[in-house]
Chains A and B, each alone.
Chain A
Amino acid sequence: MHMSDVLLSPAVGGVMTAVGAGAIGYSAKKISRGPDAEANDKPIPMMAVMGAFVFAGQMVNFTIPGTGSSGHIGGGILLAALLGPFPALLTLAAVLLIQCLFFADGGLLAYGANVFNMGVCACLLAYPIVYKPLAKNGLNKKSITIASVAASVIGLQLGAFCVVLETVLSGVTELPFGAFALLMQPIHLAIGLVEGLVTAAVLCFVHSARPELLEGGTPPALGPNSAERKFRKTPALIAVLAAAALVIACGVSLLASAFPDGLEWSIENVTAADIQRSGGVYDAASGLVDATAFMPDYGFAGAEEGSALGTSAAGLIGSAITVIIAGGIGFIIHRVRNTRAKPAPGLGRH
């Protein structure tokens, strides 16, 4: 479910980055003022190691019975049940950033969207709204299984729906909303069921071996100001935040579609207003461009079909020339670096 940059428009990507950053900031604030006030630093190594666990656990494939295919865990509900929702969100957000930077799994511009779809939907929505109430009457095999499956299914359905919304609002692909939703939701229903069953199996094992590790495994006493009590108010708050995020995302996207592309629109304004009026410099520059341009005016005059061909051909030829020059420079740099042959420390040949 990792979204890549290219299917998001800058407007939707920007809004979702703000929403993701907000969720991370809010969770960080919750933790630093949270339950372990006196041992504030303890959750950090725990979260870090659990993040590494999720990362490694996602690479352990298991066979799905009856299908012959294999799957892996996502880990949102699992982390929330072990660490609590806010530490779980931060942990998952760190894993997503590392996956994005080092493994190109999800884009940098799409990072906020991925944090929302996979982190917020599972840890801050499905966990407190579905898992907690279902598991509140004590943890046993049955309650853990029901809560895990329900929370995983709902978390993934929400996440998949957000992917559909974000993709359709971005307008990069031609996928119609209905068809895309009809494709995504059932697939993620199946994935959610498997994810829920695996989460339940893992949690049941941990509960039987080390019950104190699970949130609610040994219920803490509820004081008037305890974090647990405060936490009860958060689902409503988060639901409001999520609704606000959706409204903003829809609003910005409608605005963005009214001006086909925010950046394009601003560029048009800039080029129309400033550059063309900037006299001497602009004239000199445009003179230079005209003199050196391989295909001035970026296209052949004539029919619509011809102009599309012209734009494409001009773009392609212009790019090819530039890329050949850049490639040549790159090749020379590569050769010079190799012939200088002073291998940098730690930069051995692999």
Chain B
Amino acid sequence: MPSLRRASAAINRMDSLAAGRSPVHSLHPLAKLIVTVVYIVVVISCPPFNPGGLAVFLCYPLIIAPLSGTPLRPLFARLAIALPFSLAGAVSNLFLTPGAAFRIGSFVVGYGLLSFASIILKTLLTVFAALLLVASTPFEEINRQLTALGVPKIFCLQLVMTYRYLSVLIDEALTMTTAYALRAPEVKGVRFSDIGVFLGQLILRSFGHAEHVYQAMKCRGFDGGYQTRAGARLRPRDFIYTAAVCAGVVLLRVFL
């Protein structure tokens, strides 16, 4: 996980990107959600020893990122978080997959190397697809679609509220870690003997916040549900976008 300060900056940045305007932003959130899921499933299902062919799926982020005005740097920063786990599996394939696929000059390319490259490339493609979705769609809209798709209301409601309170609690934790660091400048992080009291204090503050939030919400007539404006309707271009991209990636997969 990133540091507190970076996480806070990352959330703010995604929020401001999602609030932007572009042809991708103006698409219906459901269309983008379906396209993202289909794209990820198709990429994951690609054969393991053809990284060259897999690279064709780079088209999607290469077009959608500039079209939605999403800079590539934050995407690569998130990739660094996702890579370690994939890397562990990929490295094992590098050494354990038997057989030489072909030679380039005197360099033998084994199936292990092809599989390694495929896993790394698949990580990049799936991570970018998910991030491009949240960089071009406000989280509340994704949440609304989840509700519409039948995800339990209580889960959606607390999902969106958790997201809203992240910055509050991250700021709270940041204040506490700064105060701790000022009192214990030689210590990296928090001492093991102090962590119970430290996190316990953070919990008590969180409960305090929760109580205040609940009272404020009750005062405004909260009855277990959010009152929201009606969501956007699906327009013909949403259908065209969904059909075109889904058909495109499935066809690429078929001929891969």
Contact = CB atoms under 8 A, between A and B. Distances in A.
A104 B214 contact: no
B166 A330 contact: no
Interface in A15-40: 21, 24-25, 28-29, 31-32, 40
A125 B144 CA distance: 31
A139 interface: no
Nearest to A322: B56
A333 B41 CA distance: 27
Q: Is the interface of B mostly helix, strand, loop or mixed?
A: helix
Contacts of B159: 94, 97-98
Interface stretch (A43-51, A149-157, A245-253): A43-51
Nearest to A204: B196
Contacts of A91: 158, 162
Interface string A241-280: 0000000000000000000010110010011000000000
Contacts of B93: 173-174
A56 B203 CA distance: 11
B126 A107 contact: yes
B31 interface: no
B210 A46 contact: yes
Given A5-B122, A175-B92, A315-B256, A52 B166 contact: yes
A226 interface: no
A50 B202 CA distance: 10
B241 interface: no
Given A53-B169, A167-B89, A322 B59 contact: yes
A347 B69 contact: yes
A322 to B, nearest CB: 5
Nearest to B21: A344
B127 A45 contact: no
B170 interface: yes
B242 interface: no
B203 A59 contact: no
Interface string B75-118: 00011011001100110110011001111100001001011000
B89 A172 contact: yes
B19 A346 contact: yes
Given A4-B85, A6-B122, A108 B169 contact: no
Contact of A6 (B69, B86, B203, B209): B86
Given A9-B44, A201-B195, A175 B122 contact: no
Interface of A: 2-10, 13, 21, 24-25, 28-29, 31-32, 40-42, 44-53, 55-65, 70, 72-73, 82, 90-91, 93-95, 97-105, 107-109, 167, 172-176, 198, 200-202, 204-206, 209-210, 213, 261, 263-264, 267, 270-271, 305-306, 308-309, 311-320, 322-323, 326-327, 329-331, 333-334, 337, 344-348, 350
27 contacts: A5-B44, A41-B224, A49-B169, A49-B210, A52-B170, A59-B4, A60-B190, A62-B195, A82-B203, A94-B155, A109-B126, A202-B203, A271-B254, A311-B50, A312-B102, A315-B51, A315-B256, A323-B55, A323-B58, A326-B63, A327-B62, A333-B63, A333-B66, A344-B20, A344-B22, A347-B69, A350-B16
Q: Which 8 residue pairs are nearest across A and B when measured between Cβ atoms?
A: A201-B196, A316-B52, A315-B53, A205-B200, A309-B102, A28-B152, A48-B161, A315-B52
Given A32-B154, A326-B58, 6 more contacts: A10-B41, A101-B139, A311-B53, A312-B52, A312-B102, A322-B59
